[in-house]
Structures are given as structure tokens and as C-alpha cells.
Amino acid sequence: MARWEPLLEQVMRERAPRLLAYAAMLTGDDTEAHDVLQDALVRSFSRGRRFDHVNQAEAYVRRAIPSVVIDRSRKFRPVPRDPADHPHVAAPASDRDAVMDVRTALRELSPRERACIVLRFYDDLTVSQIADHLGLADGTVKRYLSDASARLAALLGADVDLREENTVPVTAPLAKGRR
């Protein structure tokens, strides 16, 4: 067995739920997340890189996921999935409403907007870093962030902090449905 195979197995056994969760946040679709993670694992382990530890491999696969999502969004049209494919496991009641709201709101965004929002607000990347990561122009990233922030502000309410000081202006909420 090649030395990469046990590490691939370990990543899939131990880290798949977390990686799938990250992919699901970027795709807005649990089944699509499985496809994305498969592609990200293949892409990451096919390059001949030496991973010394499962944490390093997981981090690499995680970094590959946004690019895979963007690539797939260019090639494939999203197909509505049956939510029953992956039964919902309830979170603590105190968090559930907010989480469901943000998940629903994220699904309203385009794949590129969603990727930019997650990389900016969850991964704390700068606009330039997002642009490099996704192969987009800085201005394009700013536009996606601005549009998506406005949409999320409208969907999630005024108490959600979407400020992007010195980077992305928060504009007034746009008319519903506009991209």
C-alpha cells in the first residue's frame, strides 16, 4: 500500500464530518457536499504532496473545497435534493432557530457569493486572499461580498453584524431576488 493511502483513509474516517460540514456550508446542499468532498480529496491526494500528519492533510483538503465548489458551479447546474437524504439532527434548541435562519439565507446566495461570504466571515480571509484562493479578481470578490452582505442583512435582520471595515461596504438591502 502506498504511503498516502493510510492517511487518506484516516482523513475520511476521522475528519469527514467536519469537512462535509464545511462543504455543506459552501454548497448549501448536503448531498452536493459529499460530491465536493470526494473531488477535493482526489485533487489533494493526487498531487504527490507529502502530508506528515492527518491535521496537515485535513487542512489541505479543506483549502481545496472552495475551489472545487467554484469549479463545479461552473460545470453543473444545481439539482434540488431531497432533504430526507440526510436526516436533520437537531442542535440545542437555543441555537437552532438562528442556525436554520443562516442556513436558509446562505442558500439564497449564488455559489460564488456563498464562497466569498464563508471565506470572509468564517475563515477570516482578506479580499485579496479570497481572490487568490478562488481565482477571481479583487473587484469581483468585493462585488460578491457587497451584494451577498446586503442580501444577508435583508434576510437575517438588522441585528446581524455584517460590517467589513476598510474592505467591503455594506450597502442598503437590495430588492429581494436581485443578484
Q: Residue 40: name the closest of 23, 54, 17, 15 by CA.
A: 23
Nearer to other proteins, 15 or 176 (CB): 15
Which neighbouring-strand residues pair with 164?
168
Question: What contacts 94, CB < 8 A, 6 or more positions away?
Answer: none
Asked if residue 26 lies in contact with residue 69, where contact means CB atoms within 8 angstroms, the answer is: yes
Nearer to other proteins, 46 or 172 (CB): 46
Please say whether the dihedral angle defined by the alpha carbons of residues 157, 142, 112 and 61, taken in this order, is positive or negative.
negative
Site string for other proteins, 80-119 (x = CB under 8 A): ------xxxx-x---xx-xx-xxx--x-----x----xx-
3-state secondary structure of 142: helix
Tell me which DSSP letter residue 164 carries: B
- In the range 121-150, which residues lie near other proteins by CB under 8 A? 121-122, 124, 134-137, 139-140, 143
Amino acid type, 111: P
Q: Residue count at the site for other proteins (CB under 8 A)? A: 68
Asked if residue 148 lies in contact with residue 159, where contact means CB atoms within 8 angstroms, the answer is: no
When binding is defined by CB under 8 A, the residue of 59, 154, 160, 174 that contacts other proteins is 160
Tell me which DSSP letter residue 52 carries: S
- Count of residues for the chain? 179
Q: Tell the smallest beta-carbon distance from residue 82 to other proteins (Å).
A: 14
- In the range 28-87, which residues lie near other proteins by CB under 8 A? 30, 33-34, 37-38, 41-43, 45-50, 70, 74-75, 86-87
> Which residues here bind other proteins, judged by CB under 8 A?
2-5, 8-9, 12-13, 16-18, 20-22, 24-25, 30, 33-34, 37-38, 41-43, 45-50, 70, 74-75, 86-89, 91, 95-96, 98-99, 101-103, 106, 112, 117-118, 120-122, 124, 134-137, 139-140, 143, 152, 156, 159-164
